[in-house]
Amino acid sequence: MARVKRSVHGRKHHRAVLEQAKGYYGNKSRTYRAANEQLMHSMQYAYRDRRARKGDFASCGFSASTQPLGCTA
């Protein structure tokens, strides 16, 4: 079986993670290890909150044809 050399893909992944982590505070935007950990948490929050937002719209009674009545969201 041929040997698999992972350097190119590994560097590409590191670069992509650091690119996504731009704007994070301190080490979380500079080192791969800290940035990757923060990104994993951020992605979880984003996934959770995309679903929570749907509930916010439902609680307002919002639809395409009506104005949200008494909704502050």
Residue 34 Cα distances to 56, 62, 68, angstroms? 32, 40, 41
- Mean of pLDDT over the chain: 87
pLDDT tier at 65 (50, 70, 90 boundaries)?
A: low
Length in residues, the chain: 73
**DSSP state, residue 31:** S
Checking 43-48 for CB contacts under 8 A at 24+ apart, the result is: none
pLDDT tier at 63 (50, 70, 90 boundaries)?
A: low
> Residue 66 above 60 pLDDT?
no
pTM of the model: 0.69
Residue 16 Cα distances to 9, 13, 37, 67, 70, angstroms? 10, 5, 14, 41, 43
User: How far apart, in whole angstroms, are the C-alpha atoms of residue 70 and residue 22?
Assistant: 38
